[in-house]
């Protein structure tokens, strides 16, 4: 695992998201309540909508372009939509968010 | 042979360890107990009842002088330990050395003090020991004394409740968006806040404390938003830090606290540690249950018995008399996890169970915690709950029995049982009305007034209809707001007003939302209803807004945004055009003239938005709100200024209307048009409000459309002055704001309520003026330029990525 400090927990609004740029595309970092964070690829598999701009509810996000709803735990779309978005591991330590970039680099190899 | 045991710290953990040790191996140890506080062991978690006056200090002492004397414990109370010399195996106290064979660190933790300006003023206390407690009790003796408690966690709230019981004026400042956010979810946090407020404790959430001010002692607390709170005492209860300085200085292996193994042994085999000062497998400890487990393990280890400490599930209760609250396990949502939520708004009860793989893994309850221990047992034991799932939330009393039928419960009610509390209607009255022919909810409301006010008894009334009519009763199929809630938009609006619900948490709790915090369908609607009804009490929630309204620009299909400055009534100047052109060049935007007489700059990157707004602001322009459910444009023609047919100053009237209405939030977008003559060059007859100027005055039409449906406006009124035209327009918009369903354009709403009703309401001059007044109150809060607000560097930073790792190698 390769944990990188991407910023303060307080910089992500509760029930909101922020964007992290990486060499392999953008990652959306979500904060669903005071202490819980998730990360997924930012682009909706449907038409590339920026998930970091969606409305966050429960542990789900709704794509702002066409209302696809994704479970932040699995990246799977809800209901009849079969799309899936990549998810990444995060942890919070002393108020900082750490992102596991292993999966991001693995994508390079693939 | 007796071994020399030295214990540093007389806290709850070390006290319990000594008890076990003296029970199992009396006389095996020669014990010396150091304590920095000038007293021995007491039950620290019972300081709250001492503060509130419900208990005396003597009642919470666990080990008194007799106990120490009987057990031959040498007490060195009030004496600080200066150092531990592990080579010579001695503890050096202020009054001399004590040799040891075995040493126990029970140094506990110290309260964390935020280093705010003024944190060292007299009158700023932590909430940790008897001294702090006594300081608070002393201040509360002054009549009218005010306290500010920083921290809305367990400790802070217990301090606040205690001070309040002592008659102080108490304000709690909490940085998160709900109280006790580590233990509770937002719904339970809301109930807790409501309970505390009922006791007269003022709670400010998302409070950012800037400084503590005073001349020689605490006088005030200033918040970042400008709020100033008078204070005779400030209690800081924001957290604790393990006290590890002594251990670290003596060379023990420390992380965030003293590292111990499962036998509570530190990196030195003769030195042990337990309690809040230890770190075990990366965990720290703040609650008492695991401390007692550690004490048991340590005593066993020292007496040669095999024992190992294991992490267990923890539960929390708040020791504030009358606040029933319980939290245990993991109550976050997650994949494969299911929530069972039970809300009883009238009794202020909330229960939430989290189930994963047929096992209960978390529970939060508020208002009724009678079954908490049973639920906690299920969590700890990992019991399979699949067989009792349907009645699980009702507790152990319902296991094994049949589930209750709500209809039979209603049928069993006596005829004089009150059904509708608001209007004092009993079951008999309703049954009589049903037998008299009132066979649906609307008719029953009209005849008896039952369920016609706050509506919380609607379900009961419907059940009565069902019991009385049997199959003849058809439940009305009102379209619910979304799957989170069974109520229609109209019901939610009515209940927000009648029950004075002023926060989203209040709506979710009181109206029985089935999800934790709504969804993308209901949250924007509820957010709008709250701000439309309570503009002065409710704060707009950006996280409940669609991306365009959150970012104040229209998102386009490639993720870029479009930027559109206001052009009041379609008028602009050469200077504005130059500024727009320069901005378009600078930010590489495509320029498009819109159908609403404005200029659109397309293709702007999100991170450039604050900068392009600042440039346009600098040229005197504000946001055109081309993205909002709010006022968009007021389209005009050139009117009497230039046109040979123009009868009135249609451009001027359009500008006046736009300046009055801009910035207001509405259920859907609102577009206006003002034409200077019946030739209607501004196409005013297909707008939400369209005014046609004629020689004799102004024809105000409403409920037109030129979107998905094309519809001509209907005449609302003819007036003779600009002032009257503006008053009617504003009153119409406010009536729409107060009544329409979210995402209904005015034409849809008018079709539902009927133009005659709208005309009736607005024709009443007093009502019309009251609507205008309420609109203006809302504008005093919401008529602000969002571009200018986001120009400050802190707000602008939120438009940048949180981090940019693209330049780093991805490995």
Give residue B391's pLDDT: 83
Which residues have a Cβ under 8 Å from the Cβ of A109 and sit 6 or more positions away?
Answer: none
Of B676, B653, B665, B782, nearest to B728 (Cα)? B653
Q: Do B802 and A58 touch (CB under 8 A)?
A: no
Which band of pLDDT confidence, cut at 50, 70 and 90, is reported for residue B455? low
Write out pLDDT tens, residues B655-670: 999 999 999 999 999 9
Say what the pTM is: 0.65
Instruction: Look over chain B and give the mean of its residue pLDDT values, rounded to a whole number.
Output: 89
Q: Does B559 touch chain A (CB under 8 A)?
A: yes
Nearest to A55 among B185, B544, B798 (CB): B544
Show which of residues 18-37 on chain A sit within 8 Å of chain B, judged by CB atoms.
Answer: 18-24, 26, 29, 32-36
Instruction: State the nearest Cα–Cα gap between B784 and chain A, in angstroms.
Output: 22
pLDDT at B673: 96
The Cα of B483 is separated from the nearest Cα of chain A by a number of Å equal to 13
Q: Is the dihedral of CA B396, B399, B400, B404 positive or negative?
A: positive
Q: Is B472 helix (H, G, I), strand (E, B) or coil?
A: helix
- pLDDT in the model for residue B452: 61
The pLDDT tens digits for B500-550 are 999 999 999 889 898 889 999 999 999 999 999 999 999 999 999 999 999
- Written as six digits, the tokens of B204 are 């400010």
pLDDT digits (tens, 9 = 90+) for B755-795: 988 999 999 999 999 999 999 999 999 999 999 988 888 88
Answer for the pair B368, B349: CB distance below 8 angstroms, yes or no.
Answer: yes
At B422, the pLDDT band (50, 70, 90 cuts) reads low
pLDDT at A39: 96
DSSP per-residue letters across B709-761: SEE--EEEEEESSHHHHHHHHHHHHHHHHHHSPTT--HHHHHHHH-HHHHHHH
Q: Tell me, what's the pLDDT at B732? A: 97
Q: Tell whether the model's pLDDT for residue B383 goes beyond 90.
A: no
> Complex ipTM, two decimals?
0.91
Answer whether B332 sits within 8 Å of A20, measured CB to CB.
Answer: no
B558: tokens are: 């490639």
Return the minimum-mean-pLDDT range out of B193-207, B389-403, B774-788: B389-403
Query: How close does chain B come to A83, measured CA to CA in Å?
Result: 16
pLDDT at A59: 93
List chain A residues with pLDDT less than 50. 108-110
Residue of B nearest to A54 (CA): B547
In order, the DSSP letters of B133-202 are HHHHHHHHTSTT-EEEEE--SHHHHHHHHHHHHTT-EEEEE-SSSSTTTTT--HHHHHHHHHHHHHTT-E
State residue A106's pLDDT score: 57
Interface of A with B in 44-103 (CB under 8 A): 47-50, 53-60, 62, 64-65, 67, 69, 71, 73-74, 97, 99, 101
- Alpha-carbon distance of B8 to B75, in angstroms, equals 11
Distances A50 to A66, B404, B418 between C-alpha atoms, Å: 11, 47, 53
Which is more confidently placed, B404 or B482?
Answer: B482
Mean predicted confidence (pLDDT) in B400-415 = 64
Question: Looking at beta carbons, which residues of chain A come within 8 Å of B806?
Answer: 21-23
In angstroms, the first-to-last Cα distance of chain A is: 17
Residue B284 exposed, middle or buried by CB count within 10 Å (0-12, 13-18, 19+): middle
- CB B66, CB B19: distance < 8 Å: no
Tell whether the model's pLDDT for residue B206 goes beyond 60: yes
| The pLDDT value given to residue B23 | 87
Between residues B632 and B401, which one has the greater pLDDT?
B632
DSSP string computed for A35-104: S-EEEEESB-TTT--BGGGSEEETTEEE-TTT--EEETTT-BBSTT---B--EE-EEEETTEEEEE-HHH
C-alpha dist (Å) from residue A31 to A57, B524, B695 = 10, 18, 59
User: Which tens digits make up the pLDDT trace of B263-274?
Assistant: 999 999 999 999
* Interchain pair B803, A2: CB under 8 A: no
Lowest mean pLDDT among B69-73, B178-182, B336-340, B688-692: B336-340
Minimal C-alpha gap between A53 and chain B (Å): 6
Give contacts of B 322-341 with A, CB under 8 A. 332-335
pLDDT digits (tens, 9 = 90+) for B275-295: 999 999 988 888 777 888 899
Please choose, from the candidates B303, B249, B302, B238, the residue with its C-alpha nearest in 3D space to the C-alpha of residue B103. Answer: B302
Q: How far apart are CA A15 and CA B652, in angstroms?
A: 43
Look at residue B319 and tell me whether its pLDDT is greater than 70: no
CB contact B176 to A (< 8 Å): yes
Going from the C-alpha of B354 to that of each of A8, B375, B509, the distances in angstroms are 29, 11, 18
CB contacts under 8 A, B 489-528 vs A, are 515-520, 523-524
DSSP code at position B600: E
Q: Exposed, middle or buried: residue B436 (CB in 10 Å: 0-12, 13-18, 19+)?
A: exposed
What percent of chain B is modeled with pLDDT above 90? Answer: 54
At B321, is the pLDDT very low, low, confident or very high (cuts 50, 70, 90)?
low
d(CA B554, CA B358): 45
pLDDT single digits (tens) B67-112: 899 889 999 999 999 999 999 999 999 999 999 999 999 999 988 8
Residue where the block lists tokens 């849809």 = B748
Residue B402 predicted with pLDDT over 90:
no
Which one has a higher pLDDT value, B209 or B436? B209
Write the pLDDT tens digit of every residue in B5-34: 999 999 989 999 999 999 888 888 999 999
Nearest Cα neighbor of B116 from B124, B128, B108 is B124
Contact across the interface for B805 and A23, Cβ inside 8 Å: yes
Question: Rounded mean pLDDT of B548-569?
Answer: 92
Looking at residue B623, what DSSP letter applies? B
Q: What's B247-312 look like in SS3?
A: HHHCCCCECCCEECCCCCECCCCCEEECCCCEEECCECCCCHHHHHHHHHHHHHHHCCCCCCCCCC
Whole-number pLDDT of residue B403:
42
Kindly tell me if the per-residue pLDDT of B629 is higher than 80.
yes
pLDDT given at position B443: 75
Mean pLDDT of B589-609: 93
Distance CA(B232)–CA(B220), nearest Å, equals 8
Distance of CA A28 to the CA centre of its chain: 4
């Amino acid at each position: 695992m390769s944990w990188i400090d991407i910023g303060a927990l307080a910089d992500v609004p509760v029930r909101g998201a922020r964007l992290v740029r990486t060499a392999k595309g953008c990652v959306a970092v979500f904060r669903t309540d005071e202490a819980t964070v998730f990360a997924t690829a930012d682009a909706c598999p449907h038409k590339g909508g920026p998930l970091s701009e969606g409305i966050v509810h429960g542990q789900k996000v709704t794509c702002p372009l066409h209302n696809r709803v994704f479970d932040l735990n699995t990246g799977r779309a809800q209901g009849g939509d079969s799309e899936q978005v990549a998810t990444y591991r995060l942890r919070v330590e002393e108020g900082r968010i750490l992102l596991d970039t292993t999966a991001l680099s693995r994508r390079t190899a693939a | 042979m007796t071994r020399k045991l030295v214990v540093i710290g007389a806290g709850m953990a070390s006290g319990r360890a000594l008890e076990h040790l003296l029970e199992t191996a009396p006389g095996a140890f020669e014990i010396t107990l150091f304590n920095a506080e000038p007293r021995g062991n007491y039950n620290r978690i019972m300081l709250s009842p001492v503060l509130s006056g419900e208990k005396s200090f003597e009642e919470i002492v666990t080990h008194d002088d007799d106990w120490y004397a009987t057990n031959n414990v040498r007490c060195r109370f009030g004496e600080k330990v200066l150092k531990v010399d592990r080579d010579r195996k001695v503890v050096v106290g202020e009054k001399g050395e004590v040799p040891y064979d075995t040493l126990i660190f029970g140094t506990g933790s110290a309260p964390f003090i935020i280093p705010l300006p003024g944190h060292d003023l007299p009158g700023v206390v932590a909430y940790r020991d008897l001294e702090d407690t006594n300081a608070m009790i002393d201040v509360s003796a002054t009549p009218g004394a005010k306290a500010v408690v920083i921290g809305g966690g367990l400790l802070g709230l217990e301090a606040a409740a205690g001070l309040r019981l002592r008659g102080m004026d108490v304000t709690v400042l909490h940085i998160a968006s709900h109280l006790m956010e580590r233990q509770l979810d937002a719904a339970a946090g809301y109930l807790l806040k409501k309970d505390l407020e009922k006791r007269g404790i003022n709670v400010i959430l998302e409070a950012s404390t800037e400084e503590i001010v005073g001349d020689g002692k605490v006088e005030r607390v200033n918040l970042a938003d400008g709020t100033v709170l008078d204070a005779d005492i400030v209690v800081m209860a924001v957290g604790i830090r393990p006290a590890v300085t002594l251990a670290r200085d003596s060379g023990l292996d420390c992380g965030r606290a003293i590292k111990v193994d499962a036998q509570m042994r530190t990196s030195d085999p003769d030195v042990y540690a337990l309690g809040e000062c230890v770190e075990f497998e990366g965990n720290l400890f703040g609650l008492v249950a695991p401390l007692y487990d550690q004490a048991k393990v340590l005593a066993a280890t020292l007496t040669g018995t095999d024992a190992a400490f294991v992490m267990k599930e923890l539960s929390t209760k708040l020791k504030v008399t009358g606040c029933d609250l319980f939290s245990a396990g993991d109550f976050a949502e997650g994949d494969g996890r299911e929530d069972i939520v039970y809300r009883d708004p009238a009794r202020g009860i909330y229960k939430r169970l989290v189930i994963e793989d047929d096992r209960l893994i978390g529970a939060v309850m508020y208002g009724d915690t009678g079954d908490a221990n049973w639920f906690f047992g299920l969590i700890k034991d990992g019991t399979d709950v699949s067989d009792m799932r349907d009645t699980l939330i009702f507790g152990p009393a319902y296991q094994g029995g049949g589930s209750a039928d709500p209809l039979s419960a209603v049928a069993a009610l006596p005829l004089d049982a009150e059904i509708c509390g608001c209007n004092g209607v009993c079951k008999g009255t309703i049954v009589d009305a049903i037998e008299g022919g009132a066979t649906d909810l609307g008719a029953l409301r009209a005849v008896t007034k039952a369920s016609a006010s706050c509506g919380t008894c609607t379900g009961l009334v419907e059940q009565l209809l069902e019991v009385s009519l049997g199959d003849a009763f058809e439940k009305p199929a009102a379209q619910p707001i979304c799957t989170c809630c069974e109520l229609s938009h109209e019901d939610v609006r009515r209940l927000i007003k009648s029950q004075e619900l002023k926060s989203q948490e209040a709506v979710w709790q009181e109206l029985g939302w089935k999800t934790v915090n709504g969804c993308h369908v209901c949250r924007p609607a509820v957010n709008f209803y709250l701000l439309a009804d309570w503009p002065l009490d409710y704060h707009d929630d950006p996280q409940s807004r669609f991306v365009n309204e959150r970012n104040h620009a229209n998102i386009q299909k490639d993720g870029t945004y479009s930027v559109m400055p206001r052009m009041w009534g379609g008028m602009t100047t050469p200077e504005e055009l130059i500024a727009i052109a320069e901005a378009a060049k600078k930010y590489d935007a495509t320029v498009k003239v819109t159908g609403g007489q404005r200029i659109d700059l397309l293709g702007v990157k999100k991170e450039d938005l604050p900068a392009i707004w600042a440039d346009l602001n600098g040229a005197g322009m504000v946001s055109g709100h081309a993205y909002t459910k709010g006022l968009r444009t007021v389209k005009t023609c050139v009117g009497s200024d230039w046109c040979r047919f123009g009868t009135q100053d249609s451009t001027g009237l359009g500008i006046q209307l736009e300046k009055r209405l801009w910035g207001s939030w509405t259920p859907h977008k609102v577009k206006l048009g003002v034409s200077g003559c019946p030739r209607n060059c501004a196409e005013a007859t297909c707008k939400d409000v369209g005014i046609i100027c004629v020689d004799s005055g102004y024809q105000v039409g409403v409920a037109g459309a030129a979107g998905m449906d094309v519809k001509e406006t209907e005449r609302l009124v003819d007036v003779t002055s600009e002032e009257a035209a503006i008053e009617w327009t504003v009153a119409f918009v406010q009536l729409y704001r107060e009544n329409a369903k979210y995402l209904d354009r005015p034409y849809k709403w008018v079709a539902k309520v009927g133009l005659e009703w709208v005309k009736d309401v607005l024709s009443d001059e007093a009502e019309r003026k009251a609507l205008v007044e309420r609109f203006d109150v809302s504008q005093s809060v919401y008529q602000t330029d969002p571009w200018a607000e986001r120009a400050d560097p802190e707000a602008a930073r939120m438009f940048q990525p949180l981090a940019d790792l693209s330049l780093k190698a991805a490995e």
